[in-house]
Amino acid sequence: ALSQSIERVDALQWPLVFPTERPRRLRRSSAIRSLVRETSLAPSDFVLPLFFNEVLDEARPVSTMPGVSQLPVAAAADQARLARSLGLGGIILFGLPRTKDASGSSAYDPNGPVPRAVAAMKDAVPDLLVITDVCVDEYTDHGHCGILRPGPRGHLEVDNDATLEVLAKTAVVHAAAGADIVAPSDMMDGRVDALRRALDGTGHESTAILSYAVKYASSFYGPFREAADCAPKFGDRAGYQMDPANTREALREARLDEEEGADLLMVKPALPYLDVIAKVRAASPLPLGAYNVSGEYAMIKAASAAGMIDEKRAVLELLTSIRRAGADFILTYHAVDAARWLG
């Protein structure tokens, strides 16, 4: 019966159809594919995250993120020159301080690892775009992104309004050190407004704010917590970071940060939230970044080390997808490799 039906297909007048629309014409050669490509990827789209650890004399590899190391502040100038030579869009700095306390006060130490690394980078390459992450989780002994206080039933919770002052001091110290952009990643309400007023009130009206406007409480930050030594000692961040199930809330966060004076917005993580990137892109005229976070990076590294995936093709495809979803720029640990692959 089976061979009978094949014979009946053979007996039809082939070709049965003569397509009038032939999209394959535009895929025939690499030349035509590059002419009609809708999304571009360039080294200037990438922002490289760097971790400066105050107590280190030499780089310390991060076991959860192959290819990433915590760096001594003395390495900052070389990193700036590397970023410049690759044509990266910029770098974003995280700090690991010598001392931590309950209120994260080392976050606004003018001699802390971030202000010192910013100054060294700006001395070495004055026109390199330098962004700083503004958050206290790397500086608090409990690892939360704010100051704690007992809630109504005695358990500790993050005190939104008390945290704003620490964040604002941190942003001003980073701006004074020479940061072009400060990037609050704490998810406190009103932080963009607080940072803008503090920067303006201290003569830093030209320092831009890149808000981690839409930041989810994500499992994909796992590997970063070793890189930045900032795992919460108890509980989790669901009381301030967003529920992965929500998108209307993402639009609300983006609107609020725009109204509070953010210059650029960010969605984080990137890959599980491409739909959110597309929606924020449509809702706001501000430049939009996406953070291709540590867990996304670690998955690619693990799969390619196991021979399961072609790292270069996978990375360039993922970065292209994030741009296609609507991100203007991408914070990514793949920045150096991807810039080299793009030539």
Judge residue 54's burial from the number of C-beta atoms within 10 Å of its C-beta, 0-12 exposed, 13-18 middle, 19 or more buried.
Answer: buried
Residues forming beta bridges with residue 131, ordered by sequence position: 92, 181
Residues forming beta bridges with residue 133, ordered by sequence position: 183
Least distance CB 325 / ligand PBG (angstroms)? 18
- Give which of 151, 138, 232 is closest to 185, Cα–Cα: 138
Structure tokens of 141?
């002994």
Distance CA 148, CA 302 (A): 36
- Crossing angle of helices 294-305 and 311-325, in 10° steps, is 150
By CB under 6 A, is residue 293 in contact with ligand PBG? yes
By CB under 6 A, is residue 167 in contact with ligand PBG? no
Structure tokens of 333?
């640990």
Q: Is 313 annotated as a binding residue?
A: no
Q: Is 8 annotated as a binding residue?
A: no
Q: Which is nearer to ligand PBG, 125 or 179 (CB)?
A: 179
User: Max alpha carbon distance in the chain (Å)?
Assistant: 85
Q: Which is nearer to ligand PBG, 125 or 290 (CB)?
A: 290
Structure tokens of 242?
């967003």
Least distance CB 45 / ligand PBG (angstroms)? 17
Least distance CB 33 / ligand PBG (angstroms)? 32
By CB under 6 A, is residue 221 in contact with ligand PBG? yes
**Residue 312 falls in the annotated catalytic set:** no
By CB under 6 A, is residue 106 in contact with ligand PBG? no
By CB under 6 A, is residue 73 in contact with ligand PBG? no
Instruction: Give the pairing type, strands 60-61 and 69-71.
Output: antiparallel
Q: Which is nearer to ligand PBG, 73 or 187 (CB)?
A: 187
Least distance CB 292 / ligand PBG (angstroms)? 8
By CB under 6 A, is residue 260 in contact with ligand PBG? no
Q: Number of residues interacting with ligand PBG: please give it, by CB under 6 A.
A: 9
Among residue numbers 120 through 139, which ones bind ligand PBG (CB under 6 A)? 133, 135, 137
Distance CA 30, CA 37 (A): 10
Q: Which is nearer to ligand PBG, 119 or 135 (CB)?
A: 135
Structure tokens of 107?
């976050």
Q: Is 294 annotated as a binding residue?
A: yes
Rounding to the nearest 10 degrees, give the CA dihedral for residues 172, 173, 178, 181: -50
Least distance CB 221 / ligand PBG (angstroms)? 4
Distance CA 227, CA 224 (A): 5
Residue 150 C-alpha from the chain's centroid? 31
Q: Is 157 annotated as a binding residue?
A: no
**Residue 215 falls in the annotated catalytic set:** yes
Name the catalytic one among 122, 169, 215, 301: 215
By CB under 6 A, is residue 211 in contact with ligand PBG? no
For residue 207, the surrounding DSSP H or E stretch is: none
Which residues belong to the annotated binding site for Mg(2+)?
253
Active-site residues, by number, are 215, 268
Query: Binding site for 5-aminolevulinate, residues?
Result: 225, 237, 294, 333
Binding residues: 225, 237, 253, 294, 333
Binding region for ligand PBG (CB under 6 A): 133, 135, 137, 185, 221, 224, 237, 293-294
